Structure 1
Amino acid sequence: MIRFRIFAAAAVLLAAPAFAADAPVVEAPAGALRGEAVGGVNVFRGIPYAQPPVGRQRWRAPVAAARWDGVRDATRFGPACHQPPPRPGSIYSPAEALPTSEDCLSLNVWAPADARGAPVFVWIHGGSLVAGSGREAMYDGAALARKGVVMVSINYRLGVLGWLAHPDLGAESDDGVSGNYGLLDQIEALRWVQRNIAAFGGDPGNVTIAGESAGALSVMYLLAAPPARGLFHRAIAQSAYMISTPALRESVHGTPSAEEAGVALSRKLEVRGLPRLRAMDAQALTVQAALAGFFPLGVVDGRVLPAQLVEVFDRGDQAPVPILAGFNDGEIRSLRFLLPPPPADAATYEATIRAAYGELSDAMLARYPPDNLDEAMLATTRDAMYGWTAERLARSQTALGQPSYLYYFDHGYPAADDAGMHAFHAAEIPYALGTGAGTPPNWPVPPDTGAERALAAAMQDYWTSFARSGAPVADGAPDWPPYGESRAYMAFDGTPTPGEHLMPGMFELVETVVCRRRAHGGLPWHWNVGIISPPLPDEVDGCP
């Protein structure tokens, strides 16, 4: 039950700025919080859900934050978790570097002022598990809260501080494992939601996890993680990528073990032993690890992540919840670092594809023809990472008997199209979350037109309706059919348009390549496709 009390400035219990007379105060199991009322939405920022993972707590599972006394000021965002400085000129870089700290495990809540038993929407930010924060303006929850949901955005440990595995860490763990600390943070945040969100007017029995890019990768991790079971009831994965994942103590799919990678990093940094690693300045360690090539990913440890994601989903061992998943037409247009150098000409491209793909080369060349090499390469990597993943998620949850909804974002507008970034990676976020005014400074700005506002309103309706009931419905927009046997999807271009069998042949082609690489055992599957593909392994039983 939500319980708000109005406090005069003289009654403030914590040293804080002067508060408005109508500042909302909520009494949650975690402690009392004073937030801010903005346009019919109560906002509570910087709420700690776990104790600071500093000192000897660095690289340990999160511990729930202790209940505090008095009324906590929740009008300011907490710091972001440590991350490298933003890349100048990137469309994803904020106006200025975010304040960072190891004391970063906080979350933010936007709730309708009159919320009672409202659906809960937990947003997990992207950023390659390296960067980002729940405080970014593009993840503001006010618009969705005005649609009737309680929105929560979370921070979780990033980079080396969130994803390092090392034999010494395993030795001191009760479970004998290491890595996945950022994922454990996400799970702890979901536990906090279960304990506390009713005090804000949310329903802990109706929680949707959602994220884009690395946030959507995290959604898949949570779907696969036994410790997360029962903490959420629906999932939204925007531009997820189901790539091969390192195992804790063995080399798999062409990737060294996670522990081996941790030991190699320690050698590169010339810092031996956990005490010395824990004594390093957190920001310096974060930057040096990134420069040394540390690439954060989840770790298949048999406990938090029991197996490769594809194996978990193939066995049907993932959480049996409804899903909404999709990808963007121009994913790679803003991620060109994922592409290899272009071939000299069309003949070189065709010869390279034929040498790598063997009997599948005709299918590859038909799907990704050499008449426009740039478009062929963009589409090859897009489909291998994002398109295949989105459809695989819809197929997998459908096989479990769960409602599943596939989307394809193909919306262009002048600023993006003129920059050669039609429907680029993350372009759907301002529409789905209603945060067009909060995009980063280098972001191609959509025009403020009735058509743009209508598309955004429809996407927000679909997203919040799915969170409410498991079925995406939008006022005045077409019905969104479940994926099902017809392989239905919703295209978002100028207006929402339903269709069937998106990109015929794409899923089957990528699935065959992935299946053969999995059977081979020594090859990763993700962006090493097209003209940089290793020779395709021979046909094996069980692969399409």
Structure 2
Amino acid sequence: MASRLVVQTNEGLVRGRDEGAVLRWRSIPYAAPPAGEFRWRAPMPVTPWSGVRDATEFGNASPQPRWGAALGPGNFQQVGEDCLSLNVVTPAQPSATPRPVVVFIHGGGYIFGTSALALYSGVRLAERGDAVFVSMNYRLGPLGYLDLSSLATPGRPIDSNLGLRDQVAALEWVQRNIAAFGGDPGNVTIFGESAGGNAVTSLMVTPAAQGLFHRAIAQSSPAHWAHDSEDSARWARSFVDILGATPDTAIRAIERATPKELGKAMIALYRSVANEIPGHFPLEPVIDGDFFPQWPIAAFDEGNAHKVPLIIGANRRESSLFARIPDALPTTEERIEAMFAATDPKVRDRVVAAYPGYPGKSAARAIGSDVTFWHPSVEVAQAHSQHAPTYMYRYDFAPRLVSGIGLGATHGMEMMAVFGYGDTGVGRSMTALGGRREMRRVTHAMQDNWLTFARRGRPLSSWPAYTTGDRATMIFDAPPRVEFDPYSQRRRAWEGYERYHRRGGTSPGEPAIRA
């Protein structure tokens, strides 16, 4: 068994650990540490090592607020710029044929998160699906998602879309190395939730990701997240101002600042932008005309996304969680009206009419949920379904305790089912007032569909493909069911709504629409 734990990768030997039903390798580097001269640069190749590298413990998470790297009460993961690593889990039982590969991209608003979170272990997916599970860390916050390329000089180049480039580099590692772990590099499924869901839809329209994956699952993706180079340059200037630098000292400031100092400046900028344009954040992919060349929804509309099978969907009550977080989403009348301020008043009136009770709390939160997660997912589904098999879902299930505290099927709730977390101590506590049997049923339904999709490119036969004719949508509840064109009135109300730009971008000299 010991020999099976030592695997030869292109970069060197790595030793994992035997955990009984699975074998696990942690924090294998897929790119060089992005620090020093490599800070603000695209990921660079790993320097090969000699001997056997220990891969039994987690290394650094990306720099982020301390609370973001919390793995449990009083348990925090170390953070550092040397964070570009990934983890692999395989069933311990050997397989005569290569296994499908599922690659998970964690969420956290591109501010926080780590693949070391126990929820993301992937053990149950690897076991149940006879699959190879991979998860990754990538640069977060200003080091990964604040575009400072407008500050570049001939002597100090700065690259755009660093976190997205990291994800591409991790997928390139999978293509080079996953066969050594028993995985099939020709059958790779990427999946992610929230910002990780946005990473999935962004990778689908990133030319450099072509051929690196073969199916995609986007859970609660704010698929419209992106901003233009003009906004990026404006926010870059604000960021260095917050750091106390001038245009002449900007490069020195961003090179010398500690990750903690960069993070504090980022939070100040984040709050300013979120208040100026509710629901819009400076930490998003940037349309740079090169690596990420086109507005994502426009790319799907025009058939420029990678034509791979896609599952996409959102949760029924996404924003009940964010309603408790100030400045997060447009979930109040004040923020919703600011969001609509630059749109055609007829569009605003049509949308709010589709949410009876507005401006009451429940209706306002539903608008914030739909404009951020559900409506963009519908836009992607109806566009992508013209070019590749597409399947849409809505997650409705919540245990009695979770519903009782006012959350319901809120943001991230489906992760308990996807990762089979209901039978853990945390999961059982959530079903203490009832719903454990239903939770198990929903878990099996989601896992079986996710894993069947990863293996064959389509979910179970009970889930029909999405088309603009019938808009079949799997509702994950107890029991699961298929509905056709759910929320049809809301869907039609949002037609014609543009977020922060006209579809396809703005003309030269034309101001972007601020919606």
Instruction: Provide the TM-score with structure 2 as the length reference.
Output: 0.87
Contact 1:84 1:290 (8 Å CA) reproduced: no
Q: 1:320: how far off?
A: 0.6
Give the equivalent residue in structure 1 for 2:472.
488
1:111-141 CA-partner distances (Å, limit 9, x unpaired): 1222441111110000000100111111111
Q: 1:386: how far off?
A: 1.1
Alpha-carbon distance change, 437 to 131 in structure 1, aligned in 2, over 3 angstroms: farther
Contact 1:244 1:524 (8 Å CA) reproduced: no
Contact 2:351 2:490 (8 Å CA) reproduced: no
Alpha-carbon distance change, 110 to 516 in structure 1, aligned in 2, over 3 angstroms: closer
Give the equivalent residue in structure 2 for 1:262.
236
Give the equivalent residue in structure 1 for 2:86.
107
- Give 1:471's match in structure 2, choosing from 458, 462, 479: 458
Higher relative contact order (CA 8 A, sep 6+): 1
Q: Distance in 2 between matches of 1:160 and 1:438?
A: 35
1:263-307 CA-partner distances (Å, limit 9, x unpaired): 221112113232332122222322332234373111110111101
Q: 1:438: how far off?
A: 6.4
Q: Distance in 1 between matches of 2:167 and 2:424?
A: 24
Contact 2:198 2:225 (8 Å CA) reproduced: no
Alpha-carbon distance change, 98 to 362 in structure 1, aligned in 2, over 3 angstroms: same
| Equivalent AA in structure 1 for residue 64 of structure 2 | Q
Q: Give the number of the structure whose alpha-carbon radius of gyration is greater.
A: 1
Give the equivalent residue in structure 1 for 2:380.
393
| Equivalent AA in structure 1 for residue 172 of structure 2 | R
Give the equivalent residue in structure 2 for 1:166.
148
Alpha-carbon distance change, 69 to 95 in structure 1, aligned in 2, over 3 angstroms: same
Q: 1:242: how far off?
A: 2.6
Give the equivalent residue in structure 1 for 2:6.
25
Alpha-carbon distance change, 516 to 43 in structure 1, aligned in 2, over 3 angstroms: closer
Q: Indicate whether 1:153 and 2:135 are aligned.
A: yes
1:2-28 CA-partner distances (Å, limit 9, x unpaired): xxx625xxxxxxxxxxxxxxx722222
Q: 1:437: how far off?
A: 5.6
**Could you say what secondary structure the match of 2:87 adopts?**
strand
Runs (5+) with no aligned partner, structure 1: 8-22, 251-255, 526-544
- Give 1:60's match in structure 2, choosing from 31, 41, 66: 41
**Could you say what secondary structure the match of 2:228 adopts?**
coil
Higher deviation after alignment, 288-297 or 499-508: 288-297
Q: 1:324: how far off?
A: 0.2
Give the equivalent residue in structure 2 for 1:117.
98
Q: Distance in 1 between matches of 2:424 and 2:243?
A: 38
**Could you say what secondary structure the match of 2:204 adopts?**
helix
Q: Distance in 2 between matches of 1:292 and 1:96?
A: 29
1:480-521 CA-partner distances (Å, limit 9, x unpaired): 110023110100111211121121132232231228962685
**Could you say what secondary structure the match of 1:505 adopts?**
helix
Correspondences of 1:430-441 after superposition (within 5 Å)? 430-436=416-422
Q: Distance in 1 between matches of 2:225 and 2:145?
A: 15
Q: Distance in 2 between matches of 1:84 and 1:41?
A: 32
Q: Distance in 1 between matches of 2:415 and 2:404?
A: 20
| Equivalent AA in structure 2 for residue 459 of structure 1 | M
Alpha-carbon distance change, 355 to 163 in structure 1, aligned in 2, over 3 angstroms: closer
Runs (5+) with no aligned partner, structure 2: 272-281
Alpha-carbon distance change, 94 to 312 in structure 1, aligned in 2, over 3 angstroms: farther
Give the equivalent residue in structure 1 for 2:187.
206
Q: Distance in 1 between matches of 2:224 and 2:486?
A: 21
Q: Distance in 1 between matches of 2:499 and 2:302?
A: 14
- Give 1:379's match in structure 2, choosing from 356, 362, 366: 366
1:129-165 CA-partner distances (Å, limit 9, x unpaired): 0100111111111011002111100000000111232
RMSD over aligned CA atoms reads 3.0
Q: Distance in 1 between matches of 2:408 and 2:474?
A: 18
Give the equivalent residue in structure 1 for 2:257.
280
Q: 1:334: how far off?
A: 0.2
Task: Count matched residues.
Answer: 486
Q: 1:246: how far off?
A: 2.0
Higher deviation after alignment, 390-399 or 272-281: 272-281
- Give 2:163's match in structure 1, choosing from 169, 176, 182: 182
1:386-420 CA-partner distances (Å, limit 9, x unpaired): 111222222122111x1110000011212211110
Give the equivalent residue in structure 1 for 2:277.
none
Give the equivalent residue in structure 1 for 2:24.
43
Give the equivalent residue in structure 2 for 1:323.
310
Q: Distance in 2 between matches of 1:343 and 1:129?
A: 26
Higher deviation after alignment, 370-379 or 308-317: 370-379
**Could you say what secondary structure the match of 2:498 adopts?**
helix
Give the equivalent residue in structure 2 for 1:542.
none
Q: Distance in 1 between matches of 2:133 and 2:203?
A: 18
Contact 1:208 1:235 (8 Å CA) reproduced: yes
Q: Distance in 2 between matches of 1:103 and 1:33?
A: 18
Q: Distance in 1 between matches of 2:79 and 2:488?
A: 45
Give the equivalent residue in structure 1 for 2:285.
298
Q: Distance in 1 between matches of 2:6 and 2:417?
A: 31
Q: Distance in 1 between matches of 2:67 and 2:366?
A: 27
Q: Distance in 1 between matches of 2:258 and 2:166?
A: 21
- Give 1:215's match in structure 2, choosing from 196, 219, 233: 196
Instruction: Provide the TM-score with structure 1 as the length reference.
Output: 0.82
**Could you say what secondary structure the match of 2:53 adopts?**
strand
- Give 1:6's match in structure 2, choosing from 2, 6, 11: 2
**Could you say what secondary structure the match of 2:410 adopts?**
coil
Contact 1:131 1:158 (8 Å CA) reproduced: yes
Contact 1:81 1:158 (8 Å CA) reproduced: yes
Q: Distance in 1 between matches of 2:171 and 2:252?
A: 30
Q: 1:260: how far off?
A: 2.5
Alpha-carbon distance change, 329 to 450 in structure 1, aligned in 2, over 3 angstroms: same
- Give 1:422's match in structure 2, choosing from 391, 408, 425: 408
Q: Indicate whether 1:69 and 2:69 are aligned.
A: no
Q: Indicate whether 1:81 and 2:71 are aligned.
A: no
Q: 1:452: how far off?
A: 1.7
Contact 1:86 1:93 (8 Å CA) reproduced: no
